[in-house]
Structure 1
Amino acid sequence: MNIVNKLTIRHLKENKRRTLVTILGTIISAAMISAVATLGVSYADLLKKDHIEANGDWHVVYKDLSFEQTEGIRNDSETEILSLIQESGFAKLEDPPTKNKPYLFIQKMNEEAYEQFSVEISEGRLPQSEDELIISESAEDVHLEIGDTLTLEVGTRYSDSTWAVEQGEFLTNDNQVDMDEEGNQIETLIDTEEMTYTIVGSFERPGWERGWSPSYMALSSLDLTKPLMSETMDAYVSLNSLNRSLYDHASGLAEELDISSVSFNGGLLQLSGITASDTMDRTRLGLLVVIISIIIIGSVALIFNAFAISVSERSRHLGMLSSVGATKKQKRNSVFFEGFIVGIISIPIGILSGIAGIAVTFAVINPIIDSIGLDESLKVVVTPFSMVAAVLISAATIFISTWLPAHRASRITAMDAIRQTHDIKLKNKTVRTSNYVRKWLGLEAELGLKNLKRNKKRYHITVLSLIVSIVLFLSVSYFTQSLKQSYQLAEDTVNYDVQVYTTEEEILPELLERIGELTDVTDYQLRKETNLTMYVDEDEIAPEINKSHIMQDEDGRYIYSVNLTALDEKSLHDYAKQAGFDGNLNDTELAAIVVDDISYEDYELGKYIETKAIRTEVGRTLPLFEENWETNKRKDLPPLTVSVLTGEVPMGPKNQGPGSLEVIVSESTFESILSETEEAFVNQSVYMTSDNPTVTQMELEQLEFFNQFAIDNLHDIRESDAQMITVISVFIYGFITLITLISLANILNTISTGVALRKREFAMLRSVGMTQASFKKMMMYESAFYGIKSLFYGIPISIAIMYLIYYQTQYGFTYTFQVPWLHVLGVIVAIFGIVSLAMLYSLAKTKQETIIEGLTQENQ
């Protein structure tokens, strides 16, 4: 080790306080990099586990395969795990607990499938042959016990109803029971075969068993030693390697083996970083580059601050080296060597601190996740790649951060160090302030401003630290909010638990009354809907909408489908208030609320779009008409007046997309329009939310007029949507809290260090008679100057980065850019408050020192 490095180590040991401050700044930076890497990997792991729980752990599925085709897939070089599932069919229960679940649905699975689809045995064991069954715990009301022997007629569901014929007459497990108007089952089982099973166990209800399905799940073993030529099966494949080529490879394999149906587990592949869409890949890559760049720049600024303060304080030491013949290279290398020593100590501590911080954060978050019923919880996942990346990024940021201070150090001469010309500027022009500062704010404000001008490097370092904190917080806040908005665009969320549908209008009053008496029902809403038409000019269509998706007539006019919806009086009043309408829409004839905000997936462009359904304004009319598409006869209807434009959607399904418009009116207006039509068909449904949808469904089924309506329970889907939104929200606020704490540590570290280096200055001011009150006032003004300057630069830079993040999302999503002004306001208040508290806290630590101690003390 050369003499300059030895002197550097000695100087670090002698100046413990400055060394600790430098190490602390570097630890904070390394902790931020490590925490972000760990958080991202752990969160992706949670989403993957949750998706696997709900859909299984597979990448590609091939449908309706022969035994020979499955062997071809098994022998493919890319196949890692092959799960085979064969549907035995449906068996009718003798005494089902509910009309909507009259079946057992029996599937055969090989050993790999049981593992890949997360089948967890709760009692008994797995089936070992095709005549053994395990029953889902959801069938507890069926009263089947382990050891029971069942002789069942297993077959295929068949119905000749119009809607069933349209899908090929055969009903799947996704189709509810087909009933007539009296509530009697009109579907049958065909191609039945008598089969005998022994129940050998029960299994926990998996996420892929839907609560609204017409059957209870039962699983058997798939015996591949005796495949039947007439039976087909589905192959779910986990691949050896995941990359974009898997789509072409799977399609090519399907063509080679003459397989007609191949599809992909898009959700799991996306969470693994693989998409079939170039636009989504560009979005993902762009966001990754932006957020990593923000973190690296923030880290460089954090560490640069520490080393800039270090070089400023070491100016005498560097001048001493220069006076005894040290070259520029040796002085520069002494700073690089200091960075190396600091990195060796700080990076391991920082990375471990970041991981520990995430572990503590997860310990706080997991009870929240458990409370919303999510099966999986956040676990700290540390991968070799994420840790190597964190070490390399931390090392790179230390090197980049020391580059400028090192070159600055190389230029310090012995005379510069004695005069302190690199730090202290005493020219009159440099420290000149406006006369209005003293006149309006007093001597303390003028002194505070002169202090900042006198040592601009320290001032700029502090301001830079504040700017970095502002940019980090606002950028990460907008980034995480963009993630949430993108998820909500990509997923059609359900806002109700149970739907009751009827064509019998005369039962509606009693039905609503009885629903209102159900104790578990928290809210309900009657919707009457009919579909009408209107013409729209081209300039009324938002530019984000792909006009090729909208129908045009022979004259080139665009045709919009209008979903006219009437709400019951109470629901309409509540909804109108929510939409921002002050009056009573029930008393306003031909008044309408137009849902003009829509979101949909444009498959042609490969992106999700949020935009306006139509460009209109309050007070304009909607020229509705009814058109008979067979005779091409058109009948004009009374025009509706737009009273409110809103993005709020009433309870029920969303009727959104290009060329469609959701219009909400009162029942009286609805009847007025309907009376002018000739062939309009009306759908009538009651949508409700419930604390216990299963109990609510059973209570509805016990009504004496149950045969006059149908029930659809979508609670599982709604609960899944709500859980994911909650998890994303928890992640967002956890991430923002993490960045906030790091920013606070950065601000407190920088300001307290800056104040600690000014002990001699404070002692000198006390020596000429400045009181403690004046000190406090001066420091408060300095805080204000720091805050104003940092906000002046920080907010515009943050908005620019927000727009860059927004721009990257537009490859896969289209929505309007909005600055989160509430967060900006919070940052403004927080900056002034935090800077002031940091100044006062640091100043309080010097309060007890005497003037002599302050004038003679060296920073140790």
Structure 2
Amino acid sequence: MNIMNKLTLRNLKENKRRTLVTIIGVIISVSMLTAVATLGVSFIDLLKRDSMARDGEWHAQFIGVNSEQVKEIKEDKKIEKVILSNDLGYADWKGSKSEYKPYLFFRQYDEQGLTQFPITLKEGTYPKASNEIIISDEMVKNAKREYVIGDELKVSIGERHFKLEEEDSILTQTDPLQRNEAGENVEEIQRVKSYTFKIVGIMESPSWEPTWSPGYTIVNYMDKSELTSNSSINASVVMKKVKQSIYEDSESLAKKLNIEKVNYNSELLRYYGVSSNDNLLLTMYSLLGIIILVIIIGSVALIYNAFAISVSERARHLGMLSSVGATKKQKRNSVFFEGAVIGGISIPLGIIAGLVGIGITFSFINKYFQEALNTAEGLNVVVTPFSILFSILISLVTIFISTYLPARKASKISAIDAIRQTQDIKLSGKKVKTSKLVRKLFGIEAEIGLKNLKRNKRRYQTTVFSLVISILLFLTVSFFSDNMKKSVELSQENIDYDIAVSAGSNSTEEELLPLANAPSITQSNLIKNIYVTTFLAKDVLSENNKKSVEKDNTMLDDGKLSFNVNFFILSDSSFKDYAKAAGFNSNEYLNSDVPKGIVLETASYFDPYAEKFIEEKVLDAKPGDSIDLYMYREDSGKEEFFNKIQIGLFTDETLMGISSNNYRTITMIISNEVAEKLFEDETINMDYNLYLNSDNPEKAQEELEDLKTGSMYIYNVEMDRKQSEQMIMIMSVFMYGFISLISLISIANIFNTISTSISLRKREFAMLRSVGMTPTGFNKMIYFESIFYGIKALMYGIPISIGVIAALYWSISNTFEYGFELPWLSILFVVIAIFIIVAAAMLYSVSKIKKENIIDGLKQENI
């Protein structure tokens, strides 16, 4: 080790406080980077495992393949596994207790599929022959007779067909039971074939079975030896390496083998960073880049200040070395060596601290995550070589950037300047000149404070820079947190009730009202629903829909865009209560000759054309405008005008069960009286929906099942609502935890910068006290300096922060589109906090040197 490095190490040991502060700063920086990288990798790992647990591990699925095509698929070098499956079809099941689930749905898997797809066996064994099946526990629970392992099941399996006008549709498990207005089943099973199966096991109801599906899932074994060139099955594949080229490779293979259709496990692929939706990938990568950049900027500011202060304190020491022959390169390298030593200590400790911190965080929040995602999977601390290497490289780059400027400065320190300590203070009369107005308004103390800032220009700039970075960090992370939370809310379904009871148009209010009075029900809202059509001119469309029709004019019908109008009809008393809550006069609507309604102003929905979540004003219209209403006529085979309604006002005030979250739908609330006027000459199919809240939703559902009549159907959505709320809560915890960490780091950075700057001004303060400055005058000078620091920092910090916020908004808007709004409350908080923190830091630092002897202060040298 050369003499310069030995002297550097000695200097680090002698200045233990400064060395410790610098090491802690780097540890915080590295731990933040490690925590962010590990959190990202661990969260993606959780989402992958959750997706596999629900839908199985597969990446692409070739539909309708035969035995020869399966053989070709297996030989593809890019494919690791091939899982064979087939939807055998539906069988009428007379033994069902539920009128909404009158079928048994049969799905076949080969050996690989039984293990690769999420099938949880409760008792018995997996099927091993083509005549063996496992049934679901839901089927057992809802059967009119008892089913046990060993029983035989004789069924006739075929396709679900539903004929609408001239079109015949084949329905799947994602299609609910098709019923007419009388609640009668209007489907039929066609092309049936008889089978006899033996029950060998009972499984948990599969996660891929939607709650509204009309068939209980039964899993059957697929015997590959029975496949022929005429077979038509599905081949799901797991790729050896998941890359963006999977879409091109799969389509190419399908074309080569004459396979008509390929499906993709889009959710799982998205978690591998592979998506056909370029907007989502752009959002993911740009957000990650911006957040990492913000962390690096904050880290550079924190570490740079430590090294800059170190060089200032070592100025005389470096000058002395220069006087005995130290070259520029040696002085520069001594600062780089100092950075290397601190990095060598701090980076390993920072990585360990980041991993331990994120592990502790996971242990606290895993329970909530599992409930929010309705999964048994939890967050595991996933450490990858890439995440550790990423943290190390970014930390090294950060330390290098932080040491580069101080190192250059150290190399230029001459022996004379260092001994005289003039390197930071180079003055001319013009540079320290202040306005006479300052003294007149604020006194001589304020003028001295302003001259101090101008005289100690480098220290002043370092402090302002530190404050600007703190403002940038806080506002950026605050905006990011609020918008991430808003994005999560936008992507989650808005459910503000526990149970929904739907009934067909043949039901009456009198039949539904007893359900609202069930013992376990705490709140209820009965709403009637009618859907009709309208056609909107381009000039009244929302911004997003205007963009859509500009891209594709074929959407327009005679220059207008088709929209749904969803009427929520309230009883006159309920409408009056709603008017009171929303703040309008109900008499204008109940006693009006012209039908008038309330339009929910803001719509939130997923736009399949733009492939993003949208929140926007539903119409570019104003109160008093009218909407023409159309209804489908069977005799003409088209939509025909039947009436019009006036927009009374726009509001975002809703009631339980009412929301505006459907694509191209105007949600309008009207009274029962208005509905009678509007549809008096029409035969209308009206749906009745009862929305309920309960302290015990499970018990309430049992009570409602006993009370329901006719074609009523009860949906217990309490779990979905809780999942949405918990996901938003978890996001809030993460985001505000991040804000708290950033805030603490920023405050520590400000205190460290200011306190060190103050300690370097001991001689200056002693001189002011020696010429008669009183404690009151001294405090006044410090207050003015604090105000000047704060104003200067806000002048730079807020505009820069707004620029970064705009970049974040652009990134998020690639997937989630809603109005841009500056975080005014956060800005106000920053303005107040900056002045408080700066003043507190300066007064705290000054209080430590106030009691020092004036003579000792005048003799003070910064060595």
Taking the TM superposition and a 5 Å limit, the aligned residue runs for 1:800-819 are 800-819=803-822
Please name the residue that 1:407 is paired with: 408
Deviates more, 1:395-404 or 1:418-427: 418-427
Matched, 1:642 2:642: no
Q: 1:200 offset after TM fit, Å?
A: 3.7
Please name the residue that 1:213 is paired with: 213
Give, in whole Å, the separation in 2 of the partners of 1:95 and 1:737.
58
Give, in whole Å, the separation in 2 of the partners of 1:689 and 1:785.
56
* 1:55-86 deviations in Å (ceiling 9; x for gaps): 32221122233333333222222212323333
8 Å Cα contact 1:579/1:644 also seen in 2: no
Q: Letter of the aligned partner of 2:468 in structure 1?
A: I
Please name the residue that 2:802 is paired with: 799
Please name the residue that 2:689 is paired with: 685
Give, in whole Å, the separation in 1 of the partners of 2:588 and 2:717.
30
Q: 1:38 offset after TM fit, Å?
A: 1.7
8 Å Cα contact 2:320/2:419 also seen in 1: no
Q: So what's the TM-score if we normalise by structure 1?
A: 0.88
Give, in whole Å, the separation in 2 of the partners of 1:817 and 1:468.
23
Please name the residue that 1:197 is paired with: 198
Matched, 1:790 2:793: yes
Q: 1:264 offset after TM fit, Å?
A: 1.0
Aligned counterpart for 2:596 among listed residues 577, 586, 591: 591
Taking the TM superposition and a 5 Å limit, the aligned residue runs for 1:257-336 are 257-336=257-336
Give, in whole Å, the separation in 1 of the partners of 2:490 and 2:808.
17
Matched, 1:672 2:668: no
Give, in whole Å, the separation in 1 of the partners of 2:428 and 2:731.
55
* SS of residue matched to 2:565: strand
Give, in whole Å, the separation in 1 of the partners of 2:397 and 2:71.
50
* SS of residue matched to 1:211: coil
Please name the residue that 2:749 is paired with: 746
Please name the residue that 2:823 is paired with: 820
8 Å Cα contact 2:534/2:564 also seen in 1: yes
* SS of residue matched to 1:546: helix
Percent identity between the two aligned chains:
43
Q: 1:393 offset after TM fit, Å?
A: 1.0
* 1:278-337 deviations in Å (ceiling 9; x for gaps): 444444333333333222222222221111111111111111122112222222222222
8 Å Cα contact 2:162/2:188 also seen in 1: no
Please name the residue that 2:365 is paired with: 365
Q: Letter of the aligned partner of 1:154 in structure 2?
A: V
Structure 1 residues 167 and 623, CA gap change in structure 2 (3 angstroms): closer
Give, in whole Å, the separation in 1 of the partners of 2:656 and 2:445.
59
Q: 1:797 offset after TM fit, Å?
A: 0.9
Q: 1:462 offset after TM fit, Å?
A: 1.9
* 1:455-507 deviations in Å (ceiling 9; x for gaps): 22222212211211221222223234444444555566555555444444662
Q: Letter of the aligned partner of 2:836 in structure 1?
A: G
Give, in whole Å, the separation in 1 of the partners of 2:654 and 2:849.
57
Matched, 1:394 2:395: yes
Deviates more, 1:426-435 or 1:377-386: 426-435
Structure 1 residues 153 and 370, CA gap change in structure 2 (3 angstroms): same
8 Å Cα contact 1:88/1:155 also seen in 2: no
Structure 1 residues 293 and 3, CA gap change in structure 2 (3 angstroms): same
Structure 1 residues 601 and 709, CA gap change in structure 2 (3 angstroms): closer
8 Å Cα contact 1:18/1:310 also seen in 2: yes
Taking the TM superposition and a 5 Å limit, the aligned residue runs for 1:446-485 are 446-485=447-486
Q: What is the aligned length? A: 854
Please name the residue that 1:356 is paired with: 356
Q: 1:208 offset after TM fit, Å?
A: 2.5
Structure 1 residues 806 and 841, CA gap change in structure 2 (3 angstroms): same
* 1:615-645 deviations in Å (ceiling 9; x for gaps): 1223444455668693889656354143224
Q: Letter of the aligned partner of 2:422 in structure 1?
A: T
Structure 1 residues 558 and 448, CA gap change in structure 2 (3 angstroms): same
Q: Letter of the aligned partner of 1:669 in structure 2?
A: V
Aligned counterpart for 2:667 among listed residues 653, 662, 670: 662
Give, in whole Å, the separation in 2 of the partners of 1:859 and 1:20.
19
Q: 1:142 offset after TM fit, Å?
A: 4.9
Matched, 1:703 2:707: yes
* SS of residue matched to 1:98: coil
Give, in whole Å, the separation in 1 of the partners of 2:788 and 2:586.
49
Structure 1 residues 498 and 186, CA gap change in structure 2 (3 angstroms): farther
Q: 1:252 offset after TM fit, Å?
A: 1.6
Give, in whole Å, the separation in 2 of the partners of 1:698 and 1:174.
26
8 Å Cα contact 2:13/2:19 also seen in 1: yes
Give, in whole Å, the separation in 1 of the partners of 2:826 and 2:620.
30
Q: 1:157 offset after TM fit, Å?
A: 6.1
Matched, 1:15 2:15: yes
Please name the residue that 1:31 is paired with: 31
Q: Letter of the aligned partner of 2:707 in structure 1?
A: L
Deviates more, 1:727-736 or 1:86-95: 86-95
Structure 1 residues 635 and 390, CA gap change in structure 2 (3 angstroms): closer
Q: 1:246 offset after TM fit, Å?
A: 0.8
Structure 1 residues 840 and 212, CA gap change in structure 2 (3 angstroms): farther
8 Å Cα contact 1:531/1:681 also seen in 2: no
Deviates more, 1:219-228 or 1:139-148: 139-148
8 Å Cα contact 1:425/1:453 also seen in 2: no
* SS of residue matched to 2:480: helix
8 Å Cα contact 2:307/2:406 also seen in 1: yes
Give, in whole Å, the separation in 1 of the partners of 2:163 and 2:659.
23
Structure 1 residues 339 and 487, CA gap change in structure 2 (3 angstroms): same
Structure 1 residues 638 and 809, CA gap change in structure 2 (3 angstroms): closer
Matched, 1:341 2:341: yes
Q: 1:210 offset after TM fit, Å?
A: 3.1
Q: 1:19 offset after TM fit, Å?
A: 1.9
8 Å Cα contact 1:593/1:646 also seen in 2: no
8 Å Cα contact 1:606/1:812 also seen in 2: yes
Structure 1 residues 584 and 859, CA gap change in structure 2 (3 angstroms): farther
Q: Letter of the aligned partner of 1:387 in structure 2?
A: I
Give, in whole Å, the separation in 2 of the partners of 1:41 and 1:193.
50
Give, in whole Å, the separation in 1 of the partners of 2:587 and 2:746.
49
Please name the residue that 2:734 is paired with: 731
Structure 1 residues 157 and 671, CA gap change in structure 2 (3 angstroms): farther
Give, in whole Å, the separation in 2 of the partners of 1:159 and 1:518.
40
* 1:683-726 deviations in Å (ceiling 9; x for gaps): 4433445566665555444336x224445566665555555444
Structure 1 residues 174 and 132, CA gap change in structure 2 (3 angstroms): same
Give, in whole Å, the separation in 2 of the partners of 1:323 and 1:542.
70
Structure 1 residues 715 and 626, CA gap change in structure 2 (3 angstroms): same
Structure 1 residues 181 and 583, CA gap change in structure 2 (3 angstroms): closer
* 1:227-254 deviations in Å (ceiling 9; x for gaps): 4777543222221122221111111222
8 Å Cα contact 1:572/1:585 also seen in 2: no
Q: 1:425 offset after TM fit, Å?
A: 5.4
Give, in whole Å, the separation in 1 of the partners of 2:163 and 2:531.
20
Structure 2: which 5+ runs fail to align? none
Give, in whole Å, the separation in 2 of the partners of 1:257 and 1:44.
34
8 Å Cα contact 2:157/2:195 also seen in 1: no
Q: 1:827 offset after TM fit, Å?
A: 2.5
Aligned counterpart for 1:614 among listed residues 616, 619, 630: 619
Please name the residue that 1:385 is paired with: 386
Q: 1:162 offset after TM fit, Å?
A: 4.5
Deviates more, 1:662-671 or 1:172-181: 172-181
Deviates more, 1:102-111 or 1:36-45: 102-111
Q: 1:440 offset after TM fit, Å?
A: 4.7
* SS of residue matched to 2:597: strand
* SS of residue matched to 2:650: strand
Q: So what's the TM-score if we normalise by structure 2?
A: 0.88
Give, in whole Å, the separation in 1 of the partners of 2:705 and 2:88.
30
* 1:658-693 deviations in Å (ceiling 9; x for gaps): 5x4332222222221112x54655444334455666
Structure 1 residues 66 and 165, CA gap change in structure 2 (3 angstroms): farther
